Each structure stands twice: as C-alpha cells, then as structure tokens.
Structure 1
Amino acid sequence: MRARFLGAPRPRRPWHASRTRRLRLPALALTAALLAAAPGTAALAAAPAPRAATGDYCGGQCNDILPAGENGNATLADIIGNRLFGTRPAHTDDQLGPYSALAAGYPGLTNAQLGNFFDDASFGVPAAQVASTVSPRPDVTIVRDKATGVPHITGTTRYGTEYGAGYAAAQDRLWVMDLFRHVGRGQLSGFAGGAAANRQLEQSFWQAAPYTEAELQQQIDAISGQGDRARQALSDAQAYIDGINQYITQSYNGRYFPGEYDLTGHINAITNAGSIAPFKLTDLVALASVIGALFGSGGGGELASAQVKLAAEAQYGPQLGDQVWSSLREANDPEAVSTLHDGQSFPYALPPSDPQGVAMPDAGSVVPEPLIYDATGSATSATTKATGVLPGNLLTAKHGMSNALVVSGKYTDSGHPVAVFGPQTGYFAPQLLMLEELQGPGISARGAAFAGLSFYVELGRGQDYAWSATSAGQDITDTYAVPLCTTDGSPVTLSANSYLWHGQCTPFDKLAQQDAWAPTTADSTAAGSYSLVMYRSNYGLVSARGTVGGKPVAFTSLRSTYRHEADSIIGFQMLNDPGLVHDPASFQQATQNINYTFNWFYADSSHTAYYNSGNNPVRAPGVDAGLPVQAQPAYEWQGFNPATNTAQYTPPAQHPQSVDQDYYVSWNNKQAADYGAAGFGDGSVHRANLLDARVKALISGGGKVTRSSLTQAMESAALTDLRAEDVLPELLQVIRSAPLTDPKLNTVVQQLENWRAAGGQRRETSAGSHAYADADAIRVLDAWWPLLAQGVFQPGLGTNLFGALTGALQINESPSGGQTGPVNGGPASANESIPHKGSSFQYGWWSYLDKDLRSVLGSPVAGALAQPYCGGGKLAACRTVLLTTLQQAAAQSPAQVYPGDGDCSAGDQWCADTIIQRPLGGVTDNKTTWQNRPTYQQVVEFPSHR
C-alpha cells in the first residue's frame, strides 16, 4: 500500500495530486486535523537539568558531520507541509549545507574555519545551547542541542543509558528502522508495497542472508553463551528495545509517530486505527544482517572469475590464457597502493602456484538459481509505476565506501596525531546512520551508528581517542561446486534438490518466505504475492547451477559471517568502554572482536593504529580462493562445522595491523603486501592513490600537517576525477607522440590538457553556479572512457573475453552514472549506472589502461598485463585508436552524454553528477554538488590523554 510519498516526487506534481486511498479528505481539512494532534512528550518523567560533560580530552578539536540532518522523523502534517510548501521539520537538513559548502570553501581552509563546515563533536551540551531535555525514565536524560538536534544521552544506570539510546533512536529513525527490519526478513513489499525496487531489494537480501525466525533467535542464544561481556551486550540490547517500544507507544497515543505509517495504510490518518509492531531482539539481528551484507562482507566472485579464465583460455589457449587471466585479476599487484607501506607482509588468500580442487564450470552451463515462486498479480510484472522506498540495487550494486586519512604526530604542527575519516554509507533522507552521545556506567562515546543498532556508537570518539572504519572486503566467501544427486536413484539433472555431503545424498534445506502486498492507487501497484525460496547446503546457499566435467552441480556461496552477523556486538561494546580502550593495543583488541571485514583506524593524543577485522577462514592447502572449489572434505575450510557455520580462522597476528606508521590512507584499497585481493581491481591506479599522493606530499614537503590541511587533502581528492589525474597524462602523451593536424581535434586535446593542468577536478565555476569549470573537457572524458576501453581492449580480448571481464570488473564509475556502456555492440553491463550516489571511481578499468599505455610508451611496468592491447602494443597504431575514439566522444552532444532522468534534464552536466539524498520516507532534501567523500566524517586531534 505504498504510495509515491515514499519515493522522489515527480517534477512539479503537487503532493495532493496523488490519490492514496487512505488520504481522500481535502488537503487543507486534513492538514488542520493533523496539526491539532501536535507532537508532544506525554508520560515523560520530569527532566533533571543537564549535567556538565566530563572526561572530554579533545579540547574543542573534535568535529564531525552527517548530512542531511539528525532528524529523520516527520509526522503526516510535516510531510504535507514538505509537499505543499517545501517546509521541513527542524534538523532535517541543517547539516547538508555545510557539508556541501566544503567543495567551494576548502582551498583557503584554516583550523578556525573548520566549524563552518563541521559540527562541534565535544561531549555534552553547554547550558545556553540546550534545545530540549526529556527523561523517558528517571535514570536517563536526553538533551538535544540547538545547533544540530543530536541526542546527548546520560544515564545514571547502564539500563537507563541504553533505554535512552533506544528512545532517542525511535525519535529520530523509527520509520527507517522499521523498513530495515522488514528488509532483513525478506518482507519489505508486504510492509511498504510491491514496487519493483522493493521487490528487487528484498530478493537480493534473501539471496544473501535468508533466515527463519528460529535462526535469528539462535544467533542471540549463541551470543549469550560467550561470557559476561556478551551477556551484558544482550542486556544492553534489550534495554534499547524497551526504549524503542516506549516511544512507539507514546507516539502512537499522542499521534506524533512518523507519517509514513499513515501514508502506507498501517495507521488510519483520521481514526488512528492500526498499529506499529513493537520491536524485539530478533529485529536487531535482522538489521545487523542487512548491515553486514552491505558493508562487512567480501569475496564471492569466483564464478565471474572462472568465466574470465575460461574465456581467456578460449581466446589465447590454456597456457597464455591462464597468464592473461592472472594478470587481469591483479590478485597481488606490486603497483597497488596499500594502507600499510612500512614493509610488513600479511599473506592471505594468494593464488597458489599449483591450485588444488578447482571446479571450473563447463562453458555456457551456468544458470542463476531461481528465487521467485508462485508469483501472482503485480509480482508477475518486472516493473511498476511506484517508486520503491529503498534502492532496489542497494545490496547487489558495487557501492564505494568510506575513506580515512590519519597522520602521526611526528608530522603535525602540534605533535599530536590528526585524523580525517568516516564511512560512506550512501546518501539518503534520512541517513542510514544517526548521531548520538552515550554517557553511562561503562559507556562514554559520541558518534554515528546505524539506525536500529545505536545501543553503541559504532564510529566516533571516546574520551581521549577516536576511531573509524572503511569496508575492507577481503575474501571470506567461497564458491563450492556441490554434486547434485537424487535420493530415489532417478537420473540426476540440474533441477535435483539433493546433493552429496561426504558421500551421502542429502536434501537441501528449503528456506521460503511468503510476501504479499495489498493494492494501492493506479499510480502505484496492484496487489501481488510470491514466495522467495533459497536452497541451502552444508556448503552454503545455492546461487547457481551448471555442470563441471559434464556432471550437474549446484554452485553454493559459503560466507564465514553467515549466521554470525550479531557476533560483532561484543567488539562495538568494547569500543564504547573507556575502561577498556585507552591505547592502540586495547583498540586492536576491541576490533578483533568484530567479524565483519573492516579496516579500523585509531588516533589519540600520542598514537595512531590500524587493524583489519574479519573472520578469515583458513583454507585447505592449495585452494585458490578466487575460483570455484570442489565440494569435497579435502577442500573444505579447516575445522569447518556446518552445523554452526564455524571454522578455523586466521589468528589476529596474521591480520594486517600497525601502530604509529607515518600515515595511513584507505579508500577500500589493498590492505598490505601479499594480502590477496578478493576480486578484480586492486591495481596500479585506484582512487586511494588520490589520497596517498596528497598525504605523502603533506608530510614530505617540510611543513607540518594540521586538521585543516588534512581536510584540504581529503576534499581535493573528493573533487578530482581519478581518470584525469592518473590516466589522462598517458593518453595525452600517446596522442602528442606525433603532430596533431586536425584543428578541431587539437582544440579538444588542448581542453583536456588545460583541465589536467588545472587539477582535473569537477568543480563549479563558483559556489552555487551549477556549472563546471572545464565543462567541455569533463564531458569529453565522460563520453570517451567507455569508447576508449572498448577500442583499446576488445580487438585483443575478443568479444567473449571482453564481455566476461566486464562481468568481473565494470569499465567505468563516473559521478553521473549515465554512461551505460560501449555503444558499438559492447555489453550493457560494462558500466553500472547508479546516478546521484556521490561515491565514484572505485570500480573501473583504470589500471588496465594505465599499465597498457605505459607499456606502449616504453615505461617500466611492474606486474604488466600478459598481452599488449592498445594498437597491438605499437605506439602509432595505439595513437590511431585513441584519436578515433576521442573523435567519436567529442562528437557526442551533452544530451547524449548526460541523457537525463527523473531528477535532471538531458544535457545538464552538473545535475547529472549531483548528489541526491534518496528519500526513505515522505520528506525530501535538496540536491548538492558532487563530492567523493564519506557521508559521516570526523576531523579530530586530541591534545591530551587520561
């Protein structure tokens, strides 16, 4: 039942033009009725005065920001006001302007000016800045500040502290929390409507982490047996749930709950009939499963890698083809930028010289596993007119995430470390993350946490230290080729639903979820239903079927964190405990208890530190983690127990880690030497090079790093086109290797040269101009890149290998997301079109072009491609390819390069790049200029320590 209010509004269409069945009263009458039921704070205990903050060693030098704003709840009256008059509730978007303004304001940035672009992240709220104070229980106080509305939660008991955290979370993110607990159960459409995007999202999640309700409970039960700290974590979580549920009851009775419940028909807008289901502990596991699948997993691309290998061997023959595949894979590329650069080596998941147990699929035999069964009504349609409440590709698309810049005190003006870091969790309205401060027995932290999991601060600062994370993505997921069989002795086909487990024919577990949705208006979607079905073996979830050596197999995905997404609760608890974390060693101890694949960064007044977390399975000797594996005992993870999905994991000492390296940078790049890449793309050019070059220049230039100069380095990288900085110089060098006689083409080349000389950035001519400087050069490169990749590589790779390689690594990831692939018969999958997402340049063929062009130019290349491609390795022929494709690109009009969408007109270059806070509810936010930076970000420097 899920009308358009939950998605982006159609241009110029007034809110009241929609015909949602629950809202048929005239808009003005309805508005008046709703305004009469104004939000209140009924049943709250008398609030004590706010207490002064204690234990804050940051000295006013901690800042952070989280666009669009802290407030993520809007009543129906608020939503009506937003639709009719463009108004928004307080603190809905007040962090969006400063965040966006850094793009224009960073060049002359000083420490004194940081407060113009970041919020004060000090503990506590000065008395003059208190906006509100409430106590949902006598033992907890929630103070909100005037500037941002962030909840500062202080409890006299631990239960009260966590209860207040839950109450504040529901105040700020109740609707989003409800959405994601339904996503985590494969029930989003039944809750929010059968729009195609809703169905796509719940389907992709059900493929990644299908659980029965009993299995969600099993994760809780397993944690309870892990000691006192684990039991305390569950007690904290229950207190948090209790606080959420109190807010649900009070907001329902007082009619100040989120208006999306009215708009989706869960509550009648006039009679108040309906309900909001209370939360329970298993909801938190469902939420954690979504977050783990989004940001804390890695690997699983073995079938795509195998397809590249098969195509390479078909193109070049077995021996040379294997060399080509290996060079394209770049599993341990010597030119890849690494977070650790001090000579340490951490061997893990490297390709063995003599792979054992490889299960290569027969060419053309692989078919994806069906997921949808018994579809009825609108479930039989691939599309609907309704806008989904969440992006359909939220889980399946490759989303770039998070960066970190941390500099040792040896290189700073104060002698104390400086850090600028944060996660990139996407741009939504409201955000997936929320801000909070927690102060209570055994808890002292301020920062961000995912909505519905904010009983601990997950990324932020403690009393005298700060921490953050980037997604690491190391390989913790393997693909097994499981022989199919039949229990009745009938012929084995691909449709068989039993498999061989240690010689015994065993039926797959069938995990089914029924989802059904009611009809809405003609503007949305008709009624429908379907069953989502996943089959599970002891070797993991069935993702595809095919043949190996002519015999039917199921290809399964085995992830080490499956059925263990809730385990990380202990590590996050430790990070919030001032009695535990006080130096690099204790920080690393805490992050060791997080089983998600993250790179963790730390800074206090004297030290910096890094640790790579994750349950890294110990594989059998000779197994190649980058290819499918035979499902036999000899090739299982060591110590593997399918009943609990546990195995032997690499010990902490074998995880990349460091203390007090001169500097650390991370942008989802390679962690350390010999730490094998989980997929394709960790080569000589990576967007982390943008950070590495700038920080290296800061510490080697004789000056001293400050909070502002490190922020400038981050923002300079955030506005730079990676292709322009690290590949365009070689392209221009090839082109200029001979005189250019075509005057029109020479003008185009000069525009590219001028742009590169000016820094290769995508910046407005002036703040708010909505037009880029060097606009023509930017347009040409956007059009050129996919044509260039096809022109350079397809002749040598051949059509099949070229297509297979795009399945393993997309060609392009420009800010606009509008260049959908080569135009001359190339595969549509060559570019992933996700417009307006901000994060860019993580996934692409940057390294392939870089290495190939340097080879053509005669420059040294470590880890070169196994074959030359551009012009067959001949400079003159390569130059011809570049000029031909450049001419094609230059001939494309702005409307062809930027085709337009529901948010932007065709040809509007700035708008094509612009960041849009994707609506998760009824209130929308304004577009902002493109930046490639974290969504939540801290700028910190501690002058003292406990």
Structure 2
Amino acid sequence: MPGAARRVAVVLVAAITGFALGAPVPLAQAAQANDYCLGQCSDILPPGENGNATLADILANQLLGTRPAHTADQLTAYGTLANNYQSITNATIDQFFDNASFGVPADQVERTTKPRSDVTIVRDKSFGIPHIYGTTRAGTEFGAGYAAAQDRLWLMDVFRHVGRGQLSSFAGGAAANRQLEQTFWAAAPYTEQDLRNQVAAIAGSGPAGAQALADINAYLDGINTYINQSHQGRYFPGEYVLTGHVDAITNVGTIAPFTATDLIAIAGVVGALFGSGGGGEVQSALVKQAADARYGTAIGDEVWRSFREENDPEAVLTIHNGQSFPYSASPSDPVGVAMPDAGSVTPAQEVFEPTGSATSATTAAAGVLPADLLSAKHGMSNALVVSGKYTDDGHPIAVFGPQTGYFAPQLLMLEELQGPGISARGVSFAGTNFYVQLGRGQDYSWSATSAGQDVTDTFAVPLCRPDGSTPTKDADHYLYQGQCIAMEPLEVDNSWHPTVADSTPAGSYKLIVYRTKFGLVQFRATVGGKPVAYTSQRSSYQHEAASIIGFQMFNNPEDMATAQQFQRAASNINYTFNWFYVNSTDIAYFNSGANPIRPSDVDPNLPIDSSHEWQNWNPDTFTADYTPAAEHPNSINQDYYISWNNKQALDYTAAGFGEGSVHRADLLDSRVGALVTSGTKISRADLVKAMEDAAVTDLRGEDVLPTLLQVINSEPVTDPAQAALVNELQTWLAHGAKRVETRQGSKTYADADAIRVMDAWWPLLAQAEFQPDLGDDLFTALVGAIQLNESPSGGQTGPSAGPADANQSVAHKGSSFQYGWWSYVDKDLRAVLGQDVPGGPARKYCGGGSVSGCRAALLASLAQAGAQPATTVYPADSSCAAGDQWCADSIIQRPMGGITDPSITWQNRPTYQQVVQFPAHR
C-alpha cells in the first residue's frame, strides 16, 4: 500500500472507531477525515427529514398550523431556486442546497443519541439528518434501523401493508386506500411464502448475501428497539391513535414489530413504482387492430409502427457517441403474435365484494396514501454529468437525482452511514435504508433515473376446463405443456371498521389475482375465437430482493474506487435504472435490469403465444436467461451524459410509445451540449443553472410551438382575435417559454395569458390535427396507449375522447412533459410543411396533409382555446380556487400522515438532488 493511501486508511479507521493514534477524536469531527469532496458536495430533499409526528403534533398542525422541527425546513430552499437560479454562483449553491459533507461540525450538533454501545446517531442543527457512526457493522445497521423508525415509522408501516394488499385493513376503508391496494395487488401480489423465499434467496447468494442478511437483521433490531421504546414512552407516531391501533388514553394497543419479510414487501412496492418496464402489449395490439380496421392491414401496420416509434432516429440519446446496443427490436416477420379478437378484451376481475358490503360507499375521507400512487405515470428523475475536460478545475461535475414524487413525509429519507465496510451519505426508501441507495461515498457519487426498458411481456395463455368441456373467458384453468392445470389464486381478505381518521362505514372485500406459469392474469380475451388469459410476466417479479448486493457494493468504498467497479456494482441490480457515477477523474454510465432473452422471431411489442417462452424460462424459480452486462448500454468518459428517462442508446428499443423527436430530455441535452461546445469552462453553478432552466421551461413551448407558428404564419393572420393570440404566444416564446413568477412569491406567472392559451390549446390542437384522419376508434386507442398531454396542472383534458379524460397528468405533482403527443405533433407538422422528417409519420394527418388545411385546423382550435376562461382551464380542486393558474400548477407535498406542508411554485426537477464535484481522491 503506498504511503499516502496508508495514511488515509489509518484516518478512516480512526473515523470509524472514534480513536486516532493518541487522544480520542469526537465522532462528528473524525468522520470528516474520509471526505474528499472538500465542501463541493451538496444535496436537498424537501420538505424535511422529520416524518414523525405525535398525536399532539398532528392536532397542533391541524388547529394552529405548527409543525415539528425539521418537518419542512428544506422546502423553502428547494422552492425558491426556480426564481433565483439565474444569479446562482458556486458560493451561493448552499443557499438552495444543504452542504453534503460527511460529519457534523461540533458547533452544529443538535443532539446525539446512543441507542446501544456500538453506535452513535448525531443529528445536525440545519436539517436534523441522522449521521450514524458504528464501531461495528452490526451497530451501524442497528443505528440505520433506529433512525428510520425515528423518522419514518408510520410510513414504513403503511408500505409493508400496501406490499401485502392490506392497506384498508390497517388504515381504514377510504376509497383511496382501497384503490391503491387494488392496483398494487394486481402488479405484485405475493404470498407469505413468496416473501420468505426471497429472504432465503438473499441468505443463499454467497458471502455478500450472508452479510446482507446479517445487516438486515441488525437493522430490524434497531427498528424494533425504537418501536418498543416509543410505545412505552408514548412518543410514537400519532397516526396509530387516529387509525385505532393504540388507545390515546390507556396506551393499550399494538405496533407490530418488523420482520425481514416486511422489508421484502416494502421493496416490492418500490420495485413496482420505479424499477420495472415494458408491458402494455395489449394496448399496443388494440392500436394496431384499430389502425388495420381504419386503413387496411398494409397501411394500418405502417401507421401503428410510426406511432410506436420503436427506434426513432430523432430520439435524444444518453449514449450519443454512436455506440449501438441492440435489444428488444421487432423482427421483420414475427411468429407467435396473439392478437385479440375485436372487442373481446376485458380486464381481469380482481375485486370481489360481499353482498351489502360498504366498499362502494362514497366517502370524503382521505386515504393515508394517494390512490394513484402506483397507477399514475411517473416522470421520474434526471441527470446532468460533465467530463472534467470541460470544467473549471478539471474535475467532473454532476447534478442529478431521483424524481420520486412530493410527499409529506417523503418516501425517501436522508442519512449518513459510517461503519466497517460502509461509508456513504444520501437517501434511501424508508424501510430499506440499511444501505444508502442514491448519494455519495468518500470520493465518488452515484445516482439513477428510471430506465423502463422492456422486461415485461404479455403472453396469451389458452384456457381450458379439467373435464374437457368448452372453456369460457372466465375459466380458472389453463393449458401448460399439454395439461389443463389450475391457476393459483393469490387472495387477500380485507375488513375494516370506522376510525377517527376515516368515516367510511365498516366493510370488507376480497382481492384475487390469478397466477400462472406465465405470470399474472391481467386481461381475458379470445384469439381466433378461443378464450385466453393475457398474462404479464416481469423479470424482476419474485426477485425484488436480488438487487441488495449492488446497493451493498455502492456503500463500500473498496467496491467503488473506479468507474469500472461502479459498473460491476450496478450490474448486480435487476431493477430497470440508468445509473450515473462521478469521481475526481471519471464519469460513467450503466443501464441495469434483468433483460430477458426472447426468441429472436417474436415481437415484444405485441402479445405472444405462450409457446414462445423466454430462453430457459423456469416457472418454478421465475428465472430465465438474461442479456450479459456488456450488452447493456454502458459508457465511461463520454463528453457528457444527460438523462430524463429517455432512450438510452442506438437500437435499445423503447418499451412504450412516445420516444421520438421531441422528448423532455431535449431540454437538458440542448443546454448541456451548448455548455460543452461553448469553449467556456463549466462550473457547478453553470450546471445547476442548466438543470433549473430546463426545470421551468414548457417543453411544448420550446420545442413544438416554433413549428406550430411556422404553419400558422405561412399566411398573414387576418382575424384580430386570432392575431392577438398568436402575438402572445410569440412573445412568450421569445421570453424562453418559461413558467416562472413575475417576482419571488408573487404567485403570478410572467406571460400568464400565453401560458393559459397553450394549456388550453394543446389537447384541442392534438385532437384537431389527428382525429379527423385517424377516426374516433384509432384516436381513442392511441390515447389509451399514450396520453395527449402532461401539463403541470393536469387540468386540461380537452374534448371527451374516451380514455383521454382518464389518463391525463395528476395535479400538483411537479414532474411534467414526460408523456404526451409532442413528437407526433412535431413530426406531422414538419411533414405537412414538406420538410425532411427521419422516422416520419406514415401519413400526413393535419388538415388532410395540406399546409392551408392544417393552418385552418390549428387556428380554429387556437381560437377555441383562447375563448376558454382561466376558470375553465384551471378548474377548482381541494387546494385551489377555479382560475388560479399558479396554484393549479403548484407542487403540493401530498400528505402521507397527519402533517401538511405549504405548496411551492412549479418546477420540473428531481425530488432529491445532488450537486457534486470531487477535487481529491483516496
């Protein structure tokens, strides 16, 4: 070991054990010795670290508006960046982020807890973040569990019940609770034996797995110690009283201890939310079917393929250096396609209500979690990473983080872990924070965006009856290798009684999802007149716990010293994520996920006959052959990387509709690319500015409005009212198509009326452009595959178009412009204008393909939009009055418990975010 490295190792050991060579060193000071960021790492996670509120805290919040300390103290810094980013400098970054250095200076220690002899938890004054220092590895993990329970016990308890489909039984029968448990149970139902099997799989995965299980057990000890102490001391979360689990006066009641299977259940929720990809083959088939019916098979298939945009040549790429990573492409002559008979597809029944049940009762009671937590599409995360070749001090810079939604408290929690084999600070999902999942190590940092590549297929499974009689669509047996075998019913019985927090009448119901050897039954249909079950087979199903080894490696400095080591660690994660890495010299990227190897002649975009299984599929272990790590998109030291859930690389086929010429990631790519080619060295502040400038920009305004105006201005606009609307939009475009306040705190947008017009116009123009040619059936099928719009407010559904009104964006969620018809509008208008359009549409849709006809359609829809008052464009909701534009867009931390927080101005950025530049290394 070189002398410098030896000295660092000695200091690191001193930091972990609390002793230097000589006098004792305070833990909070010594832990900083292994920090090579030298003050240039920052992060933030609104609203605040503290997610624990006693009953008295909750009542005070509801009656007086007070909040426990550190409940919302990161919210203002996060929110005000939107109006102040233009003037940010390296020196002022920590006005909008927290300094993410290791350790806590002695004068910044708020409190110190020593829950057992081998661990100390230090909370800082700034934000109350737990900094956990263990003299043993078990002590470190015990402290992680103890801190998790201190900060997120109620949320963790809620999620272990969601993961079992039992939220209403635990937290009351509000409609939102029932909807959430139903959607989760359809996506990831598990028996208790399934959960135990995953725990056993961890234990059986070699020395790293044995260490992981030991870490989990120590972590559970920490959680359960806090549960016992808080129950006896009566400082447990007040939600347990409000939902009837503990009596407020006598303290009689139960807070059940956590077990290893609870953590697997929580991991299942996280995986269903953020780590899966693909599916949707039935919806794709319905689009193809409608296109063939409208245009005939030859032209209809071309139309379907052009809207599918499977490998669009204009799509923005994370790996943009020409490397190709072929995966999941459609063959030219596929076999085994199992198209449904027209009109035969019906969703699988999952909810069974007893006669006279109260489950259908309407109630104003709020659920403990948002009903659409799983069903709403998630915009997710972004990353901006620049090579040191282009930076101010020659060291790489990253601004990156996950977009996990805005909740109070957050799904994520901040922590620092320092112990033998563990040295990291960052965030983890509450209940799985025995390792830091996204954050920084001693001289490196890592983050992720959701990749969503296709790891889920739909199989058409023939139905049968054991007596040989003719089956119907509702049959509960299916053919497997020539035998008629029973589907496995995965059942949950839920019953509830009224609680203080929920006025729903007492009720009960049963959830049933049927499992086959080809996955979970999602739809029923007929194919060629014969009944089938359409099943969903996801490669990570039954394997949510398998990613633990990769996260363990992320936390170990010895496994993360180089970009190549980082890629090896990331390859151990079977969730579909784009991983990014930066140290003092290198940047790197790796796309993780268990990518199944399919037969080369099947089409993964459509339902497949169940005889065409994945290579070496084993239904008993839910395993198959997967593509090797080298075939996953990966790169080291490209000039820069950006990601906003976009296409990863050439020929890495999109898993769904909508990865074409206009994508939200264009907002990042154009800005970072311009910085890199400018010739001016890039600072941390420059990259924050690029991120935030994209965060407050309307994608439709920046990337599609210029083409819309080109069509409209092909002739003079003579109608005065229409001309005024066009002028407003042109002025807004000249101002950068931003959605920002006139001044900090004004709660009024600059260019407010132009924004109102665009919000009202988009769904109208998309319908006016496409529906006349597509026809009602195909237009509706396409909207079912990809929604028209995802505006910040989520309030503009446009004219009724069947599913169009059901799948618009959710209000107050921040993340916007991921899913929509931006690319379709852009490509069609350019085609109508006679421009060259690589990967262009199969037909010219707008105005029958003529510029004049298209112009007339756009102007008519623009006039219709301009006539809509703000009260129509921004309807009232539970938080905002009708017509309040700023409020309609605003981000609300959706309550996950008894505490509510203020709203902040809209911006399109990660929930948790890091700004990092390492000037030194081990």
For Structure 1 versus Structure 2, the TM-score category normalised by the shorter chain is over 0.9
Partner Cα separation in structure 2 for residue 426 and residue 523 of structure 1: 24
Q: Kindly provide the CA deviation profile for residues 261-285 of structure 1, in whole angstroms up to 9, marking residues without a partner as x.
A: 1111111111111010000000000
Q: 1:210-609, aligned counterparts within 5 Å?
A: 210-375=189-354, 379-381=358-360, 383-520=362-499, 524-609=503-588
Contact 2:242 2:499 in 1 (8 A): no
Q: Kindly provide the CA deviation profile for residues 802-850 of structure 1, in whole angstroms up to 9, marking residues without a partner as x.
A: 0000010000000000012325x56544751410000000000000000
SS of equivalent to 2:601: coil
Partner Cα separation in structure 2 for residue 376 and residue 115 of structure 1: 59
Q: Kindly provide the CA deviation profile for residues 466-503 of structure 1, in whole angstroms up to 9, marking residues without a partner as x.
A: 00000000000000000000111222111211000011
Partner Cα separation in structure 1 for residue 237 and residue 454 of structure 2: 40
Partner Cα separation in structure 2 for residue 65 and residue 502 of structure 1: 54
Aligned residue in 1 for 2:886: 910
SS of equivalent to 1:107: helix
Aligned residue in 2 for 1:740: 717
Q: 1:83-94, aligned counterparts within 5 Å?
A: 83-94=62-73
What amino acid sits opposite 1:912 in the alignment? A
SS of equivalent to 1:52: helix
Could you tell me how far 1:520 is from its partner in structure 2?
Answer: 3.6
Contact 2:541 2:622 in 1 (8 A): yes
Aligned residue in 2 for 1:35: none
What amino acid sits opposite 2:621 in the alignment? T
Aligned residue in 1 for 2:60: 81
Aligned residue in 1 for 2:182: 203
Contact 1:822 1:830 in 2 (8 A): no
Whether 1:891 and 2:867 are equivalent positions in the alignment is yes
Tell me which of 868, 874, 877 is aligned to 2:853: 877
Give the % identical residues: 68
Contact 1:581 1:587 in 2 (8 A): yes
Contact 1:408 1:660 in 2 (8 A): yes
Whether 1:187 and 2:166 are equivalent positions in the alignment is yes
Tell me which of 779, 783, 786 is aligned to 1:806: 783
Could you tell me how far 1:375 is from its partner in structure 2?
Answer: 3.4
Aligned residue in 2 for 1:156: 135
What amino acid sits opposite 1:240 in the alignment? Y
Partner Cα separation in structure 2 for residue 826 and residue 453 of structure 1: 40
Aligned residue in 1 for 2:111: 132
Could you tell me how far 1:211 is from its partner in structure 2?
Answer: 0.7
What amino acid sits opposite 2:290 in the alignment? A
Could you tell me how far 1:200 is from its partner in structure 2?
Answer: 0.5
Whether 1:52 and 2:30 are equivalent positions in the alignment is yes
Whether 1:101 and 2:76 are equivalent positions in the alignment is no
Does the C-alpha gap of structure 1 residues 373 and 885 become closer, same or farther in structure 2, counting only changes over 3 Å? same
Partner Cα separation in structure 1 for residue 209 and residue 773 of structure 2: 56
What amino acid sits opposite 1:642 in the alignment? P
4+ residue runs over 3 A deviation: 47-51, 374-380, 520-523, 825-831
Whether 1:858 and 2:834 are equivalent positions in the alignment is yes
Could you tell me how far 1:380 is from its partner in structure 2?
Answer: 3.5
Aligned residue in 1 for 2:6: none
What amino acid sits opposite 2:775 in the alignment? G
Q: 1:749-760, aligned counterparts within 5 Å?
A: 749-760=726-737
Contact 1:378 1:526 in 2 (8 A): no
Moved more, 697-706 or 49-58: 49-58
Partner Cα separation in structure 2 for residue 510 and residue 872 of structure 1: 51
Q: Kindly provide the CA deviation profile for residues 557-589 of structure 1, in whole angstroms up to 9, marking residues without a partner as x.
A: 000011000110110000000111101000000
Could you tell me how far 1:379 is from its partner in structure 2?
Answer: 4.3
Could you tell me how far 1:80 is from its partner in structure 2?
Answer: 1.2
Does the C-alpha gap of structure 1 residues 163 and 684 become closer, same or farther in structure 2, counting only changes over 3 Å? same
Partner Cα separation in structure 1 for residue 554 and residue 594 of structure 2: 18
Contact 2:787 2:804 in 1 (8 A): no
Aligned residue in 1 for 2:666: 689
Aligned residue in 1 for 2:754: 777
Moved more, 511-520 or 774-783: 511-520
Whether 1:725 and 2:702 are equivalent positions in the alignment is yes
Aligned residue in 2 for 1:22: none
What amino acid sits opposite 1:216 in the alignment? L
Tell me which of 585, 595, 615 is aligned to 2:594: 615
What amino acid sits opposite 1:347 in the alignment? P
Contact 2:242 2:500 in 1 (8 A): no
Partner Cα separation in structure 1 for residue 91 and residue 588 of structure 2: 27
Partner Cα separation in structure 1 for residue 919 and residue 439 of structure 2: 17
SS of equivalent to 1:579: helix
Aligned residue in 1 for 2:771: 794
What amino acid sits opposite 2:812 in the alignment? H
Contact 1:812 1:831 in 2 (8 A): no
Partner Cα separation in structure 1 for residue 775 and residue 830 of structure 2: 22
SS of equivalent to 2:76: helix
Tell me which of 648, 651, 672 is aligned to 1:671: 648
Q: Kindly provide the CA deviation profile for residues 369-406 of structure 1, in whole angstroms up to 9, marking residues without a partner as x.
A: 00011336554416422111111111111111000000
Contact 1:189 1:517 in 2 (8 A): yes
SS of equivalent to 1:282: helix
Partner Cα separation in structure 1 for residue 259 and residue 396 of structure 2: 41
What amino acid sits opposite 2:576 in the alignment? T
Partner Cα separation in structure 2 for residue 776 and residue 301 of structure 1: 37
Could you tell me how far 1:621 is from its partner in structure 2?
Answer: 1.8
Whether 1:924 and 2:900 are equivalent positions in the alignment is yes
Contact 1:130 1:146 in 2 (8 A): yes
Count of residue pairs brought into register by the alignment: 897
Structure-2-length-normalised TM-score:
0.96
CA RMSD of aligned residues (A): 1.2
Contact 2:78 2:97 in 1 (8 A): yes
Q: Kindly provide the CA deviation profile for residues 589-635 of structure 1, in whole angstroms up to 9, marking residues without a partner as x.
A: 00000000000000000000000000000001211111000011xx1
What amino acid sits opposite 2:702 in the alignment? E
Does the C-alpha gap of structure 1 residues 523 and 260 become closer, same or farther in structure 2, counting only changes over 3 Å? closer
Contact 1:64 1:936 in 2 (8 A): yes
Contact 2:44 2:78 in 1 (8 A): yes
Tell me which of 688, 691, 695 is aligned to 1:714: 691
Whether 1:680 and 2:657 are equivalent positions in the alignment is yes
Could you tell me how far 1:860 is from its partner in structure 2?
Answer: 1.5
Does the C-alpha gap of structure 1 residues 344 and 833 become closer, same or farther in structure 2, counting only changes over 3 Å? closer
SS of equivalent to 1:727: helix
Does the C-alpha gap of structure 1 residues 582 and 274 become closer, same or farther in structure 2, counting only changes over 3 Å? same
Partner Cα separation in structure 2 for residue 828 and residue 854 of structure 1: 25
Contact 1:135 1:142 in 2 (8 A): yes
What amino acid sits opposite 1:57 in the alignment? Y
Moved more, 831-840 or 162-171: 831-840
Does the C-alpha gap of structure 1 residues 497 and 831 become closer, same or farther in structure 2, counting only changes over 3 Å? closer
Contact 2:780 2:804 in 1 (8 A): no
Partner Cα separation in structure 1 for residue 363 and residue 628 of structure 2: 49
Moved more, 443-452 or 849-858: 849-858
Structure-1-length-normalised TM-score:
0.94
Q: Kindly provide the CA deviation profile for residues 525-565 of structure 1, in whole angstroms up to 9, marking residues without a partner as x.
A: 00011110011100000001010001000000000011000
Contact 1:377 1:529 in 2 (8 A): no
Q: Kindly provide the CA deviation profile for residues 874-909 of structure 1, in whole angstroms up to 9, marking residues without a partner as x.
A: 000000000000000000000000011010000000
Contact 1:493 1:552 in 2 (8 A): yes
Contact 2:794 2:810 in 1 (8 A): yes
Partner Cα separation in structure 1 for residue 276 and residue 357 of structure 2: 33
